[in-house]
Amino acid sequence: MEPDPQALIAQARECLEGAYAPYSRFKVAAAVLDEQNRLFTGVNVENLSYGLSMCAERVAIYAAVAAGARRITAIAVTSSTAELLSPCGACRQVIAEFAAGDVPVYCDAPGMPHRWTVAELLPSGFAASRLGKG
Ligand code: THU
C-alpha cells in the first residue's frame, strides 16, 4: 500500500533545516521508506569544491543501504523553495538501482505533492540486463 504522500513529505521537511547548502542556498531534504517500512532521511550536503556536493535523495538512499535496506518502496523530496523540484539525473540513476519502476516519487509542490514513478523519471534507463546481470 502506498504511504500518505503528504505525511512522507512532512517527514522530509522535518530535517530540511539540517541541509548544508551555503553555496547554492537551496536546501533539499528527502525521505525514503525501505522494504521493512523503515524511514530514512537525507539532506543535501555541499562542498566548497562544488562538484563534491551531494543531493538529499542520495544521502537518504545511502543511509538506508548502510542500514541494510536493498529495496526502496517510496521517496519524498522537498526543498526550501515553493516550486516543484524533480530529482537530478544522477539521483534518478541511483533511485533506479534500489527502487522498482512503479515506486512513487513524491515531489513537494504548492498544494498537493506531485507524484512520478521511478520509470517516468528514468525512461529507457541503463538497466542491469545490459551487463548480463538481470
Ligand atoms: N539538489 C538536491 O539535493 N537534489 C536534487 O534533486 C536537485 C539538487 C541539491 C544539490 C545542490 O546542493 C543544490 O540542490 C543546488 O543544485
| Residues near 50 by beta carbon (within 8 Å), at least 6 away in sequence | 23
Tell me, using a 6 A CB cutoff, whether residue 108 lines ligand 1: no
* pLDDT tier at 124, thresholds 50, 70, 90: confident
Ligand 1, closest atom to CA 24? 15
Active site residue 57: yes
The pLDDT value recorded for residue 134 is 63
Active-site annotation holder among 2, 35, 57, 83 = 57
Reduced DSSP (H G I as helix, E B as strand, rest coil) percent helix, strand, coil of the chain, to 5: 35, 25, 45
The pLDDT value recorded for residue 131 is 75
Q: How many helices (H) and strands (E) would you count in the chain? A: 4, 5
Dihedral, CA of residue 29, residue 31, residue 114 and residue 99, to nearest 10 = 120
Tell me, using a 6 A CB cutoff, whether residue 5 lines ligand 1: no
CA atoms within 13 A on the CB side of 43: 18
* pLDDT tier at 15, thresholds 50, 70, 90: very high
From 8-12, 46-50, 109-113, the region with the lowest mean pLDDT: 109-113
The pLDDT value recorded for residue 133 is 72
CA 29 to the chain's CA centroid: 8
The pLDDT value recorded for residue 73 is 98
Residue labelled with grid coordinates 522537498:
78
Residues 33-79: tens digit of each pLDDT: 999 999 999 999 999 999 999 999 999 999 999 999 999 999 999 99
Nearest CA to ligand 1 atom 10: 55
Tell me, using a 6 A CB cutoff, whether residue 53 lines ligand 1: yes
- Class of the domain covering 5-125: alpha beta
